[in-house]
Amino acid sequence: MSMTNDDLRLIATTVRTLSLDAIQRANSGHPGMALGCADIAAVLWGKFLVHNPEDNRWANRDRFVLSAGHGSMLLYSLLHLFGYGITLEDIKKFRQLESRTPGHPEHRVTRGVETTTGPLGQGFANGIGMAIARDLFAREFNGGSEPVIDHRVYAIVSDGDIMEGISSEAASLAGHLGLGHLVYIYDSNGITIEGSTDLTFSEDVAKKFEAFHWHVQRIDGHDFDEIERALEAAERETARPSLIIARTTIARGSASMEGRCESHGAPLGEKEVFATKENLGCCGDDAFCVPDRAYQACAARTAEMKDRYDRWQARFVREITGDKKALWDRYFTAPAIDALRQKLPVFDPQKPIATRAASGKILEALFREMPNLVGGSADLGPSNNTLVKGYDETGRGTVGRNIHFGIREHAMGSIQNGIAYYGGFIPYSATFFTFMDYMRPAVRIAAIGGLQAVYVFTHDSVFVGEDGPTHQPVEHLAAARAIPNLDVVRPADAEETREAWLHALGRTEGPTLLALSRQNLPVLRSNGSSPRDLARGAYVLRGTDGDPDVVILASGSEVSISLEAAEILATEGIAARVVSFPSWEIFDRQPAEYRMAVLGHGIPKAVVEAGIRMGWDRYAGVHALYITRDDFGESAPYKVLAERYGFTGQGVAERIRGFVKKKTRK
């Protein structure tokens, strides 16, 4: 029993009228896309997408990504019709405070929303991450008599998504990997905010995607039969990702706004909404009206899907047994951090090692323990120490736990988000810290969406050296710390690096960034502190017998330099406490008492960090001594730069000596 075209028309009309009413009531929103894509959405949701509104985390559900997130009312209308618990009351609260229907879809806010979208191009790359996760998952768990994972990933993408560079990056990789269960429908309406896409966008999109090795079709996006045939053909194509270029009319069905850019981002107005509803065969005066027949058609589809769901559950019980079941459960169980620690390397205090290298060794051990840890670098694997030997790698037509992202940082970040959205996996990505800038939009969405993602950002200061200012992060620690819900951790040595990884793996409520050194660092321990104190964000690494004369706050590679300085100062009778301060965010979550005990009260403070001062005043105060680097770096060997900028034991000791004397004179 399949939906008739009449049913589809009814669903499309309902999507249109609900969207119009909600946007008009909110007096804010984007009607053009919701109207223009309603026909496509009706066919996709009415006849193809397989899901179960009662179990929205079903592992084998088809994923649906609305990359053009501004068309949120399209999605909310569908979620309402298909019984995801979005009520008409919710829809009436579109774009209102604490509603379940925010302006752009938010994965954490609304049941059934798979991705947080809005910033263009993000959803496009998220879907590719989901498809990678899907293929990894299928490879792990299929292979019995029947496949357990055989779903698809669908997305609706817009002109804006296609224009953004991230989508070219992601599409190129998707074509390379041969993600054959990915079906994207491109809502080609020819309209952007500034007017016709002809203003700036005349590329041959079909040819471009063919160059990326995609399967490309072109259709009329308002013809149910064409849409259906194209989706069927896309289903049959399992070796390449599919792009269906659907020519649509923005604001389709509106009384007088069809094809006009003004319909993109603003309500159509009471009059036009009335006229449009009449035009669509509805009563212009009825608001938020859903015909019973629309509910019935969707319920019939849901029942049909429920059968498939039940059959899948039976299949799952047959196929996923014994070791396979245990493995499956490991994907969906948070790692036991203390047990995991036992399996990780302990580092020899006699052997200096760069924290990026330590991270590489830790990652190797983690790969053995956690089958669901996957990721890679944007072509800097050998420098980031993120490629784990002995495990499979992505390649032409194949996925692997080691993902070669290519020189595509932005897509990497959003693909990582897609893998995290998918569920079951913990994804990591890697590049030089300075190139975090290339993927910042993706990091921000991971933080908004509360995704568990790990960033391995190496070469974390001017100590990059010869490569010079373009490759030396100076403001990046500050800029990363600025992002809410992102834990930034800059370990001081190999031992802290292990703990930083464990922190990241234990943190399910958001992403964690590891800032790691290029250069070798001593493995530190003293005064009975433990690297596990990293879990407090900051701790006293070197105490003093009595009250200290100065408290030095330092992170990463500057901690060992500060310890050196403290030893020098000790010989001169200046008692320096050294605080290893790997993470502001973690420290801020500690009780005030603890924080006060670490920082001390009324004791002169010095901050030593090879980055800008910004933000440290909160911990050290305006009158502290700042040994920081507040301008871009220079191209030179890193030891030369360390001398020049004063980041040596002697250099720091000298500055602190003068500072303490001045304070004492006062």
In angstroms, give the least distance from the CB of 81 to a copy of itself: 22
What whole-number distance in Å separates Cα of residue 581 and Cα of residue 611?
14
Question: Where would I find the H helices in 70-158?
Answer: 72-81, 88-92, 122-141
Strand residues in 309-372 grouped as ranges (E): 353-354
3-state SS of 165-205 is HHHHHHHHHHHHHCCCCEEEEEEECCEECCEEHHHCCCCCH
What whole-number distance in Å separates Cα of residue 186 and Cα of residue 209?
11
Token pair recorded at residue 494: 């190999």
Please check whether residue 75 is in contact with residue 154, taking contact to mean a CB–CB distance below 8 angstroms: no
Q: 270: which residues sit within 8 A by CB, 6+ positions away? A: 24
In angstroms, give the least distance from the CB of 93 to a copy of itself: 10
Smaller CB distance to a copy of itself: residue 439 or 565?
A: 439
What whole-number distance in Å separates Cα of residue 279 and Cα of residue 272?
10
Please check whether residue 413 is in contact with residue 173, taking contact to mean a CB–CB distance below 8 angstroms: no
Element (H, E) at 427: strand 426-432
Question: Where would I find the H helices in 450-556?
Answer: 476-481, 494-506
Which has the closest alpha carbon to 298: 504, 87, 549, 14? 14
Q: What is the DSSP letter of 376?
A: E
Long-range contacts of 395-398 (CB under 8 A, 24+ apart): 396/176, 396/177, 396/178, 397/176, 397/177, 397/178, 397/239, 398/177, 398/178
Token pair recorded at residue 581: 């301060």
Report how many helices (DSSP H) and strands (DSSP E) the chain contains, helices first: 26, 20
In angstroms, give the least distance from the CB of 261 to a copy of itself: 9
What whole-number distance in Å separates Cα of residue 435 and Cα of residue 473?
8
Q: What is the DSSP letter of 40?
A: H
Q: 395: which residues sit within 8 A by CB, 6+ positions away? A: 404
In angstroms, give the least distance from the CB of 21 to a copy of itself: 16
The CA–CA distances, whole Å, from 531 to 162, 459, 501, 540 equal 46, 22, 12, 11
Phi (first) and psi of residue 221, to 5 degrees: -75, 5
Give me the residue label for tokens 């296609």. Answer: 162
Catalytic-role residue among 114, 272, 409, 564: 409
Question: Is 409 among the residues known to form the active site?
Answer: yes
Catalytic positions, written as ranges: 409
